[in-house]
Amino acid sequence: MISVIAQYTYQGQWAGSVGHDMPVVNLFRSSGELSQLSGSRFFLATREGTVLVSDRYLADIERLQGTLQITDTPEKELIQIWPRLIQQVESAPSGETLQLETDTDLLIVSQVKGPGWIVVNALPRATIVELIRQPFSLLRWIVLLALGGCSSRPCSLFRRPGCGGGNANKKSNK
């Protein structure tokens, strides 16, 4: 269970607080679309490193009753970069999304206004490279097939003068 509390102000002065308890599972369900890329991971954590929601560590969060720390996960690169990540998030303009990189992941990071939670979507570099490579591989095959078809009929595509590819280019011997 996560408690979300926000202050209420009226005409610029504090008038009270509003709060709501939300089951972690409900928050996790609404975050499912953030990890559609193969191998990607989603985290919602406090600045101190308590993992509130994660698509990969939900069972651990529930087992430890919401006390799972990033340092308790096998996310070695995220653990190493966490202090710098927090520093950059805190120095960024409110609501800005940051991009950080590790040896194996691209991290998309932002801060949730109000509670100051940190949202991290870790995308594997290898998966991103593969997504970029696939269309280029297809394009390469298309070009190779097109050039292969032209090599058997070299002038039919371009119709250059003197190439012998059409009647208009033939000289008359009459």
Annotated domain spans of the chain? 28-126, 128-165
Q: What was the pLDDT predicted at 79? A: 94
Three-state DSSP class for residue 24: helix
pLDDT score at 145:
73
pLDDT along the chain (174 residues), means of 10: 68 77 55 59 91 88 91 93 92 86 90 84 82 72 69 52 51 51
Question: CB neighbours (10 Å) of residue 53?
Answer: 23
| pLDDT score of 51 | 93
Q: How high is the pLDDT of residue 72?
A: 94
Second CATH level (architecture) for the domain 28-126? 2-Layer Sandwich (3.30)
> Which residues make Cβ contacts (< 8 Å) with residue 106, sequence separation at least 6?
99, 100, 122, 123, 124, 125, 128
> Across the strands, what pairs with 120?
43, 109
User: How far is it, in rounded angstroms, from Cα 96 to Cα 110?
Assistant: 6
Q: Look at residue 30 in the predicted model and tell me its pLDDT.
A: 47
The pTM (predicted TM-score) of the whole model is 0.59
Distance CA 138, CA 157 (A): 21
Tally of CB atoms within 10 A around 28: 18
